[in-house]
């Protein structure tokens, strides 16, 4: 069989088109995966929030119960160096948590006191806009979620978060987890993670692990949509502050002094 | 092609580097291959152990790779600026340099894209960007713009290559089969010439807005966040200016080397370096203007978050890099480029080299300091890039040069048809054109 040039070019063009078209179709046809949906009965109409009572928190010196529990149940690895560090809840000195306050008139020891910080679960979370693959999103009940299986590790959400709430797995974290909790997924190297407000516990009707662990009851958790909830009661009766509320992120972690 | 067209005359020297392969080629080739392989080895190390092998940390999570990304994409603006804008502006002197400019654009773009991929924690998932696209993310705007730019500038390069490929085919050079395929049956008939000219003109106009969007969108990666000293409306134009700035410098370096190595002194003349040098001078001043505008605004506003980064650049931990950057991008090139006496081949070469290094540093100094002192930074993080990052940078540059070298082995780097067209047609055309500027003369 003779193939002339034109015929060859046509055949080549068609097969190329088929290849490209086929792969595009493969990609598009698989794009419509179902959205992960929360259990409706526990979450609809709720909006979770937390109040941190610093006076109570400062009651015991050097207490790290909330941090230890959180990191244990969520398989957060311990690297022992600030470079690789991963943290969901941790403490920063008061002056770093609230740098906009008139620090010069606050006593030295208050300025250095530890303030627990975690993901603020913002109502208007800046981080989720930046994700190129929708690996992070805000759920109906306000929890800012993270899909470790979709994250490509570009770390743009970390640049988007003004609170530094997100951590990246620089190494394979599994060897650095003391004792793996098999009820919660571990992560691989190369993905971003952060506090999830214990959504795995909320679904079961449990309080977040840090709230439950605090002996001083300095962490108060509840539904911000329910006027009778503990958090709403405190928001009504006490003066609360949020970290960098001027950025318009609407944090749902409040602090009382 | 007609017999007359096959007689190259003095232009024969333009094919010399395609026809003859000397010892120098093999030496350069081996060095570049070795460096490229070293870069690949470094990447494989990173792929295996994770990004922890870099100097990046929880707080300074973007570093050399993102700097490379911005820098390489910046260099890629050279081709378009020189070949497209000068073509549209009918600057006749562009002819011998247009191809090396376009080539720089296409090849360096590949490494701009590559740098982002190298930076990914999960490169195996990179196609998720297409499978689960989130169009609110500036990174996706990047994907779209850069892909478009790569496509358009590759077409530009290719279209302007066709007549020369046809010439090589008709001359019966080695690898005739390749030229046969690539020439697409171009015979240089009047109609084909006309169509090709229309095609090139159209692409030249199309590529200009694409180029501007590309670097604007690259700047948006930073400007769209609310991080201090990134969140700035000046970033779009600032990055575009910086890109053209470093791009022109890269082309000057490229043609200075090509001129020397391939003995093309008769084609790449001092006037080309002088004219490019003037363009570079304009960009130097523009770069200074934008830099000054940005820093003065920040300083006067004195917002605390921004000020801590401002001072870390001017007097703090990044001051050494910042001021080296300033010297390399401004203080060294400005006097060299400002005077006719120093705007020589050597002078523009030195100024350009200085600018290229300076612009890499500039990108670094834009990206890293903001991360060290974000609004709520806790520890004063330190970032020292490791051997992996430097090796990958070296690998990228070597691989780029290697691609360039391959191209030069296959095709003439000075477009023969453009030079001939200039000689045969444009001299008359330009004369006619000038007459139309004058009272009474010529057709409108």
Q: CB–CB of B127 and A131 under 8 A? A: no
Express each pLDDT in B309-318 by its tens digit.
899 899 988 9
| Total length of chain B | 444
What are the φ/ψ torsions at residue B371 (nearest 5 degrees)?
-75, -30
Q: CB–CB of B376 and A30 under 8 A? A: no
Q: What is the pLDDT of residue B82?
A: 83
Q: CB–CB of B131 and A189 under 8 A? A: no
Q: Are A46 and A157 in contact (CB under 8 A)?
A: no
Instruction: Looking at B57-189, list the stretches that DSSP marks H as alpha helix, in order from N- to C-terminal side.
Output: 64-75, 77-79, 86-88, 98-119, 128-131, 138-159, 162-171, 176-182
**Higher pLDDT among residues B444 and B296, named by residue:** B296
**What letter does residue B19 receive in the DSSP assignment?**
H
Q: Does A101 touch chain B (CB under 8 A)?
A: no
Residues A9 and A90 in one domain: no
Q: CA-CA distance, B108 to B243, in Å (whole number)?
A: 12
Q: CA-CA distance, A237 to B138, in Å (whole number)?
A: 42
Query: Among all residues of chain B, which has the CA nearest to that of A247?
Result: B226
Domain containing residue A142: CATH number: 3.30.70.20
Q: Are B245 and B262 in contact (CB under 8 A)?
A: no
Residues A24 and A69 in one domain: no
Q: Which residues 106-125 of chain B have a CB within 8 Å of chain A?
A: 116, 119-123, 125
Q: CA-CA distance, B304 to B285, in Å (whole number)?
A: 29
Residues A26 and A68 in one domain: no
Query: Among all residues of chain A, which has the CA nearest to that of B133?
Result: A133
Q: Are B127 and A27 in contact (CB under 8 A)?
A: yes
Residues A76 and A196 in one domain: yes
Q: Does B129 touch chain A (CB under 8 A)?
A: yes
Q: What is the pLDDT of residue B199?
A: 92
Mean pLDDT value across chain B: 90
Q: Are strands A167-168 and A144-146 parallel, antiparallel or unpaired?
A: unpaired
Question: Which domains does chain B possess?
Answer: 15-418 (1.20.1630.10)
- Assigned domain for A38 exists: no
Looking at the predicted complex, does its ipTM rise above 0.90?
no
Q: Does A97 touch chain B (CB under 8 A)?
A: yes
CB < 8 Å to A159, chain B = 61-62, 222, 225, 227, 230, 371
Q: Specify which residues A49 forms β-bridges with.
A: A222
- Assigned domain for A41 exists: no
Helix (H) or strand (E) holding B292: helix B270-301
Mind telling me how many Å the CA of A243 is from chain B's nearest CA? 9
Q: Are A50 and A254 in contact (CB under 8 A)?
A: yes
pTM over cut 0.95:
no
| Nearest residue to A83 (alpha-carbon basis) of B383, B64, B370 | B383
Which residues, in sequence order, are CB contacts of A51 under 8 Å at separation 6+? A219, A220, A221, A230, A231, A234, A235, A240, A253, A254, A255, A256
A187: left (phi over 0), alpha (psi -120 to 50) or beta: beta
Whether B376 has a pLDDT exceeding 70, the answer reads no
- Assigned domain for A40 exists: no
Q: What is the pLDDT of residue B374?
A: 60
Q: Which residues 355-384 of chain B have a CB within 8 Å of chain A?
A: 371, 374-379, 381
pLDDT in tens, chain A (257 residues): 556 777 777 777 787 777 777 766 766 665 555 455 555 455 667 899 999 999 999 988 889 999 999 999 999 999 988 889 999 999 988 888 888 776 677 788 888 899 999 999 999 999 999 999 999 999 988 999 999 999 999 999 999 999 989 999 999 999 999 999 999 999 999 999 999 999 999 988 899 999 999 998 999 999 999 999 999 999 999 999 999 888 999 999 999 98
Q: CA-CA distance, B373 to B361, in Å (whole number)?
A: 19
Mind telling me how many Å the CA of B381 is from chain A's nearest CA? 8
Average pLDDT on B270-278 reads 93
CB < 8 Å to B140, chain A = 132
Rg of chain B over Cα atoms, rounded to whole angstroms, equals 23
Q: What is the pLDDT of residue A2?
A: 58
Q: Specify which residues A108 forms β-bridges with.
A: none
Mind telling me how many Å the CA of A159 is from chain B's nearest CA? 7
Query: B156 to each of B202, B272, B367, how far by Cα in Å?
Result: 9, 21, 32
Whether B263 has a pLDDT exceeding 80, the answer reads yes
Percent of chain B surpassing pLDDT 70: 96
Which residues, in sequence order, are CB contacts of A26 under 8 Å at separation 6+? none
Q: What is the pLDDT of residue B133?
A: 94
Residues A82 and A18 in one domain: no
Residues A142 and A190 in one domain: yes
CB < 8 Å to A135, chain B = 128, 132
CB < 8 Å to B375, chain A = 99, 162-163, 244
The lowest-confidence range among A97-111, B150-164, B224-238, B284-298 is: A97-111
| Nearest residue to B186 (alpha-carbon basis) of B201, B203, B164, B202 | B164
Q: Identify the domain containing residue A121 by its residue range.
A: 47-256
Rg of chain A over Cα atoms, rounded to whole angstroms, equals 23
Q: Is B438 helix (H, G, I), strand (E, B) or coil?
A: coil
CB < 8 Å to B235, chain A = none
Query: Among all residues of chain B, which has the CA nearest to that of A85?
Result: B58
Q: CA-CA distance, B177 to B175, in Å (whole number)?
A: 5
- Assigned domain for A39 exists: no
Q: Is B172 helix (H, G, I), strand (E, B) or coil?
A: coil
Mind telling me how many Å the CA of A11 is from chain B's nearest CA? 15
- Assigned domain for A37 exists: no
Mind telling me how many Å the CA of A18 is from chain B's nearest CA? 19
Express each pLDDT in B47-67 by its tens digit.
999 999 999 998 899 999 999
Q: Are B29 and B405 in contact (CB under 8 A)?
A: yes
Of the candidates A83, A129, A172, the beta carbon closest to that of B50 is on A172
Q: CB–CB of B61 and A86 under 8 A? A: no
Mind telling me how many Å the CA of B385 is from chain A's nearest CA? 13
Q: CA-CA distance, A165 to B360, in Å (whole number)?
A: 30
Cite the beta strand spans of A96-215 per DSSP E.
114-118, 136-138, 144-146, 167-168, 192-193
Which residues, in sequence order, are CB contacts of B98 under 8 Å at separation 6+? B82, B83, B86, B87, B160, B415, B418
Q: Is A240 helix (H, G, I), strand (E, B) or coil?
A: strand
Q: CB–CB of B133 and A150 under 8 A? A: no
Helix (H) or strand (E) holding A49: strand A48-53
CB atoms within 10 A of CB B37: 13
Residues A93 and A162 in one domain: yes
- Assigned domain for A8 exists: yes
Q: Is B442 helix (H, G, I), strand (E, B) or coil?
A: coil
Q: Is A146 helix (H, G, I), strand (E, B) or coil?
A: strand
Whether B442 has a pLDDT exceeding 70, the answer reads no
Average pLDDT on B322-341 reads 94
Q: Which residues 105-164 of chain A have a CB within 8 Å of chain B?
A: 117, 126, 129-135, 150-156, 158-160, 162-164
Q: Which residues 381-400 of chain B have a CB within 8 Å of chain A?
A: 381
Residues A246 and A127 in one domain: yes
- Assigned domain for A91 exists: yes
Q: Specify which residues A136 forms β-bridges with.
A: A146
Q: CB–CB of B129 and A152 under 8 A? A: yes
- Residue of B54, B66, B125 for testing the chain A interface, max A β-carbons within 10 Å: B125
Residues A6 and A111 in one domain: no
Total domains, chain A = 2
Which residues, in sequence order, are CB contacts of A246 under 8 Å at separation 6+? A100
| Nearest residue to B166 (alpha-carbon basis) of B177, B156, B154, B180 | B180
- Assigned domain for A42 exists: no
Q: CB–CB of B130 and A27 under 8 A? A: yes
Q: What is the pLDDT of residue A205?
A: 87
**What letter does residue A224 receive in the DSSP assignment?**
T
Q: Which residues of B174-188 are buried (b: 16+ CB within 10 A; e: fewer)?
A: eeeeebeebbeebeb
Of the candidates B133, B226, B376, the beta carbon closest to that of A96 is on B376
The distance of Cα B285 from the centroid of its chain, to the nearest Å, equals 19
Q: CB–CB of A152 and B128 under 8 A? A: yes
Mind telling me how many Å the CA of A227 is from chain B's nearest CA? 32
Instruction: Looking at chain A, list the stretches that DSSP marks H as alpha helix, in order from N- to C-terminal side.
Output: 5-29, 40-43, 54-57, 65-73, 94-97, 108-111, 127-130, 156-160, 199-202, 209-213, 230-237
Express each pLDDT in B407-432 by its tens digit.
999 999 999 888 888 888 888 888 88
Q: CB–CB of A192 and B224 under 8 A? A: no
Residues A191 and A103 in one domain: yes
Q: CA-CA distance, A136 to B345, in Å (whole number)?
A: 53
Express each pLDDT in B177-221 by its tens digit.
888 899 898 888 889 989 999 999 999 999 999 999 999 999 999
Q: CA-CA distance, B269 to B252, in Å (whole number)?
A: 12
Percent of chain B surpassing pLDDT 90: 67
Residues A3 and A53 in one domain: no
| Nearest residue to B77 (alpha-carbon basis) of B222, B251, B217, B277 | B251
Burial of B165 (0-12, 13-18, 19+ CB in 10 A): buried
| Nearest residue to B385 (alpha-carbon basis) of B409, B410, B360 | B360
Mind telling me how many Å the CA of B321 is from chain A's nearest CA? 22
Mind telling me how many Å the CA of A60 is from chain B's nearest CA? 22
A142: left (phi over 0), alpha (psi -120 to 50) or beta: left
Q: Is B202 helix (H, G, I), strand (E, B) or coil?
A: helix
Q: What is the pLDDT of residue B47?
A: 94
CB < 8 Å to A100, chain B = 304
Q: What is the pLDDT of residue B46?
A: 94
Residues A52 and A22 in one domain: no
Q: Are A181 and A72 in contact (CB under 8 A)?
A: yes
């Amino acid at each position: 069989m003779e193939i002339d040039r034109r015929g060859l070019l046509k055949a080549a063009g068609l097969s190329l088109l088929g290849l490209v078209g086929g792969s595009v179709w493969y990609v598009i046809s698989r794009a419509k995966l179902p959205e992960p949906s929360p259990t409706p009965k526990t979450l609809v109409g709720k909006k979770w929030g937390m109040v941190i009572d610093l006076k109570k928190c400062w009651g015991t010196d050097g207490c790290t119960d909330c941090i230890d529990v959180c990191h244990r149940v969520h398989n957060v690895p311990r690297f022992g160096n600030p470079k690789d560090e991963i943290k969901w809840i941790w403490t920063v000195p008061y002056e770093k948590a609230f740098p906009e306050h008139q620090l010069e008139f606050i006593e030295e020891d208050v300025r250095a006191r530890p303030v627990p910080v975690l993901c603020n679960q913002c109502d208007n979370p800046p981080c989720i806009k930046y994700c190129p693959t929708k690996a992070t999103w805000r759920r109906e009940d306000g929890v800012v979620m993270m899909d470790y299986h979709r994250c490509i590790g570009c770390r743009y959400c970390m640049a988007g978060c003004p609170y530094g709430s997100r951590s990246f797995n620089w190494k394979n974290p599994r060897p650095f987890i003391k004792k793996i909790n098999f009820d919660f997924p571990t992560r691989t190297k190369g993905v971003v993670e952060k506090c999830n407000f214990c959504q795995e516990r909320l679904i079961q009707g449990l309080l977040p692990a840090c709230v439950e662990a605090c002996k001083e009851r300095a962490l108060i958790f509840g539904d911000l949509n329910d006027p009778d909830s503990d958090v709403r009661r405190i928001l009504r009766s006490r003066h609360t502050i949020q970290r960098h509320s001027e950025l318009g992120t609407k944090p749902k972690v409040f602090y009382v002094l | 092609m007609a017999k007359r067209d096959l007689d190259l005359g003095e232009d024969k020297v333009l094919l010399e580097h395609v026809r003859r392969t000397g010892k120098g080629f093999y030496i350069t080739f081996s060095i570049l291959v070795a460096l490229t392989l070293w870069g690949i080895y470094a990447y494989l190390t990173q792929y295996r152990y994770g990004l922890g092998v870099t100097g990046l940390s929880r707080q300074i999570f973007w570093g050399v790779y993102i700097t490379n990304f911005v820098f390489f994409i910046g260099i890629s603006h050279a081709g378009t600026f020189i070949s497209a804008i000068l073509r549209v502006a009918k600057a006749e002197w562009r002819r011998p340099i247009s191809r090396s400019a376009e080539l720089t654009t296409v090849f360096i773009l590949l490494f701009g894209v590559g740098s982002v991929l190298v930076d990914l924690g999960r490169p195996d998932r990179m196609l998720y960007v297409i499978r689960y696209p989130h169009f609110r993310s500036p990174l996706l705007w990047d994907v779209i713009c850069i892909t478009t730019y790569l496509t358009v500038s590759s077409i530009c390069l290719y279209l302007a290559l066709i007549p020369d490929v046809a010439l090589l085919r008709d001359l019966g050079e080695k690898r005739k089969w390749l030229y046969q395929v690539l020439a697409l049956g171009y015979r240089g008939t009047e109609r084909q010439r006309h169509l090709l000219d229309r095609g090139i003109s159209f692409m030249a106009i199309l590529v200009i807005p694409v180029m501007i969007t590309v670097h604007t969108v690259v700047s948006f990666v930073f400007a769209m966040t609310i991080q201090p000293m990134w969140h700035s409306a000046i970033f779009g134009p600032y990055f575009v200016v910086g890109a053209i700035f470093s791009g022109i410098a890269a082309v000057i370096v490229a043609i200075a080397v090509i001129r020397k190595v391939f003995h093309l002194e008769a084609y790449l003349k001092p006037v080309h370096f002088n004219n490019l040098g003037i363009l570079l001078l304009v960009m130097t001043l523009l770069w200074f203007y934008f830099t000054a505008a940005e820093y003065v605004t920040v300083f006067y506003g004195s917002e605390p978050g921004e000020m801590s980064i401002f001072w870390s650049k001017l007097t703090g931990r990044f001051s050494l890099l910042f001021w080296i950057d300033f010297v390399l991008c401004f203080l060294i090139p400005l006097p060299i480029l400002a005077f006719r006496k120093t705007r020589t081949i050597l002078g523009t070469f030195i100024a350009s080299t200085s600018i290229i290094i300076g612009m890499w540093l500039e990108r670094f100094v834009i990206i890293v300091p903001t991360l060290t002192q974000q609004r709520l930074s806790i520890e004063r993080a330190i970032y020292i890039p490791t051997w992996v990052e430097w090796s990958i940078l070296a690998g990228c540059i070597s691989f780029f040069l290697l691609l360039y070298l391959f191209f030069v082995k296959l095709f003439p780097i000075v477009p023969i048809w453009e030079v001939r067209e200039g000689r045969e047609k444009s001299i008359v055309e330009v004369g006619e054109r000038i007459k139309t500027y004058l009272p009474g003369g010529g057709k409108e």
